[in-house]
Structure 1
């Protein structure tokens, strides 16, 4: 069974981490969005999503190899054994939607710890789309 992951930042096609982590491993790719707010961190060069009202736009990637989760957990500094506040991001199952608002599927997505948004000087991206 395929594994589905929603990406909205450096893992998107053309972004810095796409080739290394996703490139040839992706089975399918679809534009989609999730509910939330998206922030850019100018000093860090990447974004972070948090729960909230709004839309975070990105892609749903499907993978055959479930070990991709371990690689992405390391990239996102997520360890399920740590307390949530000790992680930069948490990995959660979320509902994704097609661009016309229809339910697409449940996928894994990474959400930033809201305290880090303030700490790292996050700038809200009102349209929910991040560009490097």
Structure 2
């Protein structure tokens, strides 16, 4: 007899800022919880904010980051808190909003879909974001 053991769905998150390996929030929020880490590309526009972290907005430029895979969606609870996102709040009331986007490997092949945190253009502008034309950000 074969037991039907449910397996939780993997949760994929594209990170481009303080949640990347070797950045400020990786150890606290992701290290040891992820089951895979892969360099990846998403599309948007990336800005450095004066507060010391980046913001991604909708756009069509390459953003360099990492695809982190977690064993289940419960990781989103802590990431949502960090990013000041609540699904039942208006978009304008969240610091970041979480959307599912397509993510690619460094050769441009689709890796599927992942969650990513975006700021609105208005918020980014109000914070005085500086465009990162190369699509890369580091707090180091």
Which TM-score band applies after superposition, normalised by the shorter structure? over 0.9
Q: Name the counterpart of 2:61.
A: 54
Among candidates 4, 11, 33, match of residue 12 of structure 2: 4
CA deviation vs aligned residue, 1:95-121 (integer Å, no higher than 9, x gap): 001111111110000001211111111
Q: Name the counterpart of 2:114.
A: 107
Where has structure 1 moved over 6 Å in runs of 4 or more?
none
Q: Name the counterpart of 1:37.
A: 45
CA deviation vs aligned residue, 1:69-119 (integer Å, no higher than 9, x gap): 010001001001110011111100000011111111100000012111111
Counterpart-to-counterpart distance in 1, 2:106 and 2:112: 13
Q: Unmatched 5+ residue regions in structure 1?
A: none
Once the two structures are TM-superposed, the CA of residue 65 in structure 1 deviates from its matched residue by: 3.5
Once the two structures are TM-superposed, the CA of residue 67 in structure 1 deviates from its matched residue by: 1.3
Q: Name the counterpart of 2:30.
A: 22
Kept after mapping to 2: 8 A contact 1:76/1:89: yes
Tell which structure's C-alpha radius of gyration is larger.
Answer: 2
Counterpart-to-counterpart distance in 2, 1:102 and 1:15: 26
TM-score by length of 2: 0.91
* Aligned residues: CA RMSD: 0.8
Counterpart-to-counterpart distance in 1, 2:138 and 2:86: 27
Counterpart-to-counterpart distance in 1, 2:11 and 2:79: 13
Secondary structure of the residue aligned to 2:135 is coil
Secondary structure of the residue aligned to 1:116 is helix
Q: Which has the higher strand share?
A: 1
Q: Name the counterpart of 1:13.
A: 21
Aligned length: 131
Secondary structure of the residue aligned to 2:35 is strand
Counterpart-to-counterpart distance in 2, 1:114 and 1:29: 29
TM-score by length of 1: 0.96
